[in-house]
Amino acid sequence: MNILIASQIFAEAIDKLRIANDVITAFNAPADELAALIPDREVLVFRSGVDITAELMARAPDLKLLIRAGSGLDNLDLDYVRKHGIDLIRIPEPGARAVAELGFGFMLALAREMLRADSLLRKGRWAKHELTGYLLQGKTLGIYGAGNIGSLMGRMGHAWDMNVLGCVKSPTEEKAASLGRQHIRLTEAREVVASADFLSINVPLNDDTRGLIDAETIARMKPGSFLINLARGGIVDERALFDALTSDHLAGAALDVHAAEGEGKISALAALPNVILTPHVGAMTVDSQRAIGERVIEIVEQRS
Integer Cα distance of 4 and 302 in angstroms: 17
d(Cα 60, Cα 231) in Å, to the nearest integer? 30
Active site residues: 232, 261, 280
Please tell me the distance from the alpha carbon of residue 209 to that of residue 203, in angstroms, as a whole number.
7
- Distance, in Å, from the CA atom of 95 to the CA atom of 284, rounded to the nearest integer, reads 8
Helices (H), 183-237: 189-195, 215-219
Rounded Cα distance between 111 and 159, Å, is 17
Total number of residues shown for the chain? 304
Query: Crossing angle of helices 93-111/114-122, nearest 10°?
Result: 60
Instruction: Report how far residue 39's alpha carbon sits from residue 234's, in angstroms, rounded to the nearest whole number.
Output: 32
In contact, 16 and 300? CB cutoff 8 Å: no
User: What is the C-alpha to C-alpha distance for residues 128 and 178, in angstroms, rounded to an integer?
Assistant: 43
What is the Cα–Cα distance from 186 to 175, expressed in whole angstroms?
8
